Amino acid sequence: MEGDAAGITFIFVEGFIGTTGLVIATMCGYGLFELTVSSFFMIQLASICGFLALLCIFISIATGTAGIALSIFNANGAIQTAFSYFVLGQQITNGQTWGIVLALIGACTLSLGEQI
């Protein structure tokens, strides 16, 4: 399967799974009815940005720059953890600290390419 076709298929399946989970959560009493209008639009903006990010990842994989793109994408958890620590003032566990360190080491290693 071509890289771009696989990417679009993956995004469709992920969206279907997320929508199904949201419908089930709503039926159980924990879903959409708790949203305000502003939070609904923030969710829509987040979903558009998430879709565009995944689309960029799959385009870069299809064009051959997968190593750098995937290292940036996989560092997402480290970026969110650092944001939570520095901006929101939340505590970081030892596992999260090791995750940040490993994500940075992986990104640096992949960016060196054939220079190693």
Same domain, 20 and 57: yes
**Pair (22, 35) in one structural domain:** yes
Domain range spanning residue 35? 1-64
The CA R_g of the chain, rounded to the nearest whole Å, is 18
Q: How confident is the model at residue 5 (pLDDT cuts 50, 70, 90)?
A: low
Same domain, 57 and 96: no
Place of tokens 């639009």: 41
Q: Are residues 52 and 89 in the same domain?
A: no
Alpha-carbon distance 5 to 39, whole Å?
32
Say how far apart CA 39 and CA 22 lie, in whole Å: 15
58 and 6 in a common domain: yes
pTM above 0.85, yes or no: no
**Same domain (yes/no): 2, 32:** yes
Same domain membership, residue 40 and residue 13 = yes
Pairwise CA distance, residues 111 & 72, whole Å: 10
Shared domain for 54 and 106, answered yes or no, is no
Q: Residue 103 carries which side chain, given as an amino acid letter?
A: A
Question: Do 75 and 59 have their domain in common?
Answer: no
Q: What is the pLDDT of residue 50?
A: 78
In a shared domain, residues 1 and 57 = yes
User: Rounded CA gap, 91 and 81, in Å?
Assistant: 9
Number of folded domains in the chain?
2
Nearest to 70 by CA among 99, 96, 14, 109: 109
pLDDT of residue 34: 67
Task: Among 44, 64, 84, give the residue marking a domain's end.
Answer: 64
Question: Which residue did the predictor score with more confidence, 19 or 35?
Answer: 19
Q: For all residues of the chain together, what is the average pLDDT?
A: 75
Look at residue 57 and tell me whether its pLDDT is greater than 80. Answer: no
- Is 71 found in the same domain as 55? no
Residues 42 and 5 in one domain: yes
pLDDT at 3 over 60: no
Average pLDDT for residues 23-43, to the nearest whole number?
Answer: 74
Other CB atoms within a 10 A radius of the CB of residue 103 amount to 20
